[in-house]
Amino acid sequence: MGLMFATSGAMIRIFIALLASLGFTAAFAQTAPAPLPTDAQTSTPADVAMGTRVNAQTPAATAWGYANSDIPVDPDVRFGVLANGMKYALRHNATPQSSVLMRLHFDVGSFYERDDERGAAHFLEHMAFNGSTHVPEGEMVALLERKGLAFGADTNASTGFEATSYRLDLPGNGDDLVDTGLMLFEEVAQELLIAPEAVERERGVVQSERRTGDNYARHNIVDAMQFGLAGTVVPDRLPIGTEASIAALSADQLRNFYNGTYRPERATLVIVGDFDVDAMEARVIARFADWQGRGAARAAPSRGRLDFARSSAADIFTHPAIAETVEIDWLKPWELLPDTQALRQESLLQSIGESILRRRFSRIALSSGAPIIGAGFSESGAFDLLRSASLTAQTRDGQWRGALALIEQEYRRAMDHGFTDAEVAEQLAGIVTGARNWVAGQNTRDSGGLAGQILSAADGRGVVSTPDTYLAMVEAMTPGTNGASVSAAFRAELQNYGLPLIRVTSKTPVEGGEGALLSAYDASSRIAVAANAAQAVATFAYTDFGTPGAVISDDRIEDVNIRRVRFANGVMLNIKRTDFDSDSVQMMVRVDGGGQLVTRADPTRLALTPLMGLGGLEAHSADDLRSIFAGRSVSRSFGAGQDAFGMSASTTPADMALQAQIFAATLLHPGYRPEAVDLLRRALPAQYAAMDATPGGALGREINAILSNNDPLTILPPLEAMMALDWQGYRVAVADSLAHGAIEVGIVGDVDEDAAIAAIAATLGALPDRRPAFTRDPAAFERTFAQDLSLRTIMHRGEADQAIIQAYWPARDGRDLHETLQLTLLGSVMQLMLTAELREKLGQSYSPSAGTQLSDDFPGYGYLFASASVARGSVESVEAAISAVATRLRDEPIPDDLLSRARQPLIEAFTQSQRENGYWLGYVGQATSRADYLDRNRNAMVEYQATTPGDLSILARRYLLADHMLRIRVVAAPTPAPGVAPVAASTATP
């Protein structure tokens, strides 16, 4: 259960987050185009000329809003509407096979709350799992677990400002399972009890969820809403509510909200999966045709009114941990538009312009000394209240003024001078390729994606169309799409906006306050801007690697259908052809080396590895490569595990050979460009500053060092050490691996085996001789669990009431499959017990967790763990509860039903994963060097099924020992008295 309202959390993987923010970890070609403008509406025959109607004129078509559209609706979706007003949509889809996805959506969110009901919509979502007419409190989740659904992964719900949605991902399509899913949705829709005692038990859970997300990032969002959306209810309707409102909500209030809003005319049921549509429709009608709302329907309260004639204004939000950002927003009134071919074409032209502007920002961010770390632009509608155009930039600390000028002038450059034909061609190439890939893979589209596409049209404002329709539109537009047409569409959409609203987030107060922001904007707006100079697109320099390598061995592992090839230079290639995803190929390359090259004397030796993508190649910068590969389904990545470097990509059969060339070029000709390190140095100070600002951030900074007995390789390096890094030391460290290390390639998907062999033979197989096997330095694989088991306390600088409790028990490594899977089951059983104790019984933690981490790299290293985010005052009682759960696992028999509820979701997840290319890539990528690893796939199901409660009790008595438990508390640092130095945060203390 959760909120459709995102707040940022602790940044643990700082490099990955940096790359993602700049778009450099994504493929160069778009593969899943957005099918609809988000604010389209089809409402009346006047919206579209009668002669352009292409869809059936039925009650369902009217209810779903496509009766009068000139866009053909997807014929494979069965749309319906019951006499009571409930809409439904059904679609057969066999990816994944034998599964059924159900979504129950209500057009009701926090906007429907009154002032004394804040948080009611979200609280009610929680109550859907806490007792109904035919399912006693606490039994809904248990019932689903017995049938193989994992709470959170397969069973969940979310609440937003405008909607509440419930989700069931059924792992099978049998009649009993499908009927159970429909029965549970029927219970949610009309049979909730909302008993006072159940409300009291759940209140603490809701408060825990609110408390966990109550941090500077949420405060920043609220401040931004109060500034930009003044005059509306939006800032006062965060779905989570407030501490006071949650505490005050009564069962009667929740029941009144339920009766007034959970009604058939506001409900949409979407079911996608491997089933007979006629039979499913009969089931839906039988379940829901008689549903009638109770009492009067609640009308949506007014959302307020924005002053679009507002004068230009500014706002500043300060917090010691926040990244410095600049934002410029322009607002104009909301306008409802029909979903038509013309609107989609115009929206596509506008989106190309937006993408070009973002592309320009990413190029600037990579230039040396730029004041921005990243920047973006978006134009969209929100809340049926407004449209907004937004420029945003993350800046180097203290450089908001330069960033403000930069983004203002680049936006004005786009408005005044438009876009070049070359820029448009680059973006259009990606769109065309994405559309063609979408069509090529349409018969194996994932059910989850299809369900999401249908739900996006649940409000009747958009037509669910097909990939063929999208491709036809794109190809029809392509000849006339150029710099002039995109520039005109971009300008047309961005006319008639109000005056700018300027906002800065900063760690310290801005000198001159809001007036300084307005003055800086005014000064920038007076500077003339010139058109961008045209940039030539180079030809990829690395297409010839010499004579293709000769195959010296070729065999097949029959039971898993993996073909293994070895080339004369030592390169290993493993191929598995599947039919899971049409026209999709996944590739992975492992290169000997990785983390074992790092030494305890020099723990930052490989710290720049994730920046290899930004470093480009010798002949091409990372920015050049984006232009060179526009319209191609290829990507660049480079990472390191403990025993190897790695590259991976999702591509197509047509681009597989090009992707292989990119892999080979990355090894032979890495760029090591200084702009990548320069960008890192701009970004790191802000990311380090945020680490102690939340309990999770402080824990993430310290936990690996604590668990590994303070192994220097697990201690986060000082900022100064990271800022001093450069490519010179890195390239020396990796030179031997890149030039001589063993190479193993895995390819999985819709692939022709001979074509795959030819692609690798011409690239990696053509390289000079490599070492024939992966090496292993024993000293690099030594790690011991914490020897000091005394209580550790980590201080954070977030909200005073926030704490995290963790417990760890040393176990073993993950090399023994039999015991590894049994320990996995034990961790799952502990998870269920902790949830029952801490969430359902005590109401002290929103999402307690438990499980195992058993290393494949470090012999003897692994542990079981339990964790919970709690209120500061509950630390001792939660620790006692965790200890009590461990004691019960040691001393009491584990009930068969509890084991079944833990085991079935694992079995179903394992079964489902075997139908996915991503699952197989991990095995195929090591099928020569680690052929024994395949035994995990062969034997996991048998091991899970054979495990008994007694087996788990033996493990609990072996590992969950009271005197072996390491306790960790993460609590807020005390506020110092005036004149007293503050306590250092993120310091582990006994």
The answer to whether the beta carbons of residues 301 and 112 sit under 8 Å apart is: yes
Q: What is the DSSP letter of 976?
A: P
pLDDT of residue 301: 86
Report the alpha-carbon distance of residue 672 to residue 730 in Å, rounded: 9
Q: Quote the DSSP letter at residue 982.
A: P
For residues 118 and 242, the answer to whether their CB atoms sit within 8 Å is yes
Cite the DSSP H helix spans in 103-174.
120-127, 139-146
Structure tokens at 946: 């054979």
Alpha-carbon distance 269 to 84, whole Å? Answer: 13
Amino acid 975: pLDDT:
79
Give the SS3 label for residue 732.
Answer: helix
**pLDDT beneath 70: ranges in the chain:** 1-52, 976-990
Instruction: Give me the half-sphere count of Cα atoms (radius 13 Å) on the Cβ side of residue 176.
Output: 5
In sign, the C-alpha dihedral spanning 540, 545, 548, 549 is negative
Contact 330, 389 (CB under 8 A): yes
Assigned token pair, 447: 């059910």
| pLDDT at res. 534 | 83
Alpha-carbon distance 404 to 522, whole Å? 11
DSSP codes joined into one string, 535-601: -PPPPPS----SSPPPEEEEEEEGGGTEEEEEETTS-EEEEEE-SSSTT-EEEEEEEE-GGGG-BTT
Q: State the pairing for strand pair 164-170/100-106.
A: antiparallel
Q: How many CA atoms lie within 13 A of 858 on its CB side?
A: 21
Rounded distance between C-alpha atoms, residue 148 and residue 21, angstroms: 36
CA distance 173 to 98: 5
Amino acid 53: pLDDT: 74
Residue 45 has a pLDDT of 34
Contact 179, 117 (CB under 8 A): no
Helix or strand run (H / E) with residue 391: strand 386-395
Q: Which of 312, 300, 393 is nearest to 112 (CA)?
A: 300
Q: What single string gives the DSSP state of each residue in 476-535?
A: HHGGG-SHHHHHHHHHHHT-S----EEEEEESSPPTTHHHHHHHHHHHHHTS--PPPPP-
DSSP state letters, 846-862: SS-EEEEEE-SSSTT-E
Alpha helix (H) ranges present in 238-319?
243-248, 251-261, 277-288
Residues written for the chain: 990
**By C-alpha distance, which of 611, 612, 617, 645 is closest to 629?**
617
H or E element that contains 616: none
Q: Which residue has the tokens 């949420």?
A: 218
**Rounded distance between C-alpha atoms, residue 786 and residue 932, angstroms:** 30
What are the angstrom distances between the C-alpha of 481 and each of 353, 355, 495, 731?
Answer: 11, 14, 21, 44
Q: Determine the straight-line distance between the first and last CA of the chain, rounded to whole angstroms.
A: 36
The single residue listed with the structure tokens 């609990």 is: 956
Here the tokens at position 90 are 């059904």
Backbone angles phi, psi at 77, to 5 degrees: -100, 125
Interior CA angle at 796 toward 790 and 797, to 5°?
Answer: 155
Q: What is the pTM of this model?
A: 0.93
d(CA 504, CA 519): 13
Order of strands across the sheet that contains 743-749: 551-557, 562-567, 572-577, 743-749, 585-592, 644-651, 639-640
What CA–CA distance (Å, rounded) separates 971 from 213? Answer: 15
Residues forming a β-bridge with 78: 90
Q: How far apart are CA 511 and CA 972, in angstroms?
A: 30
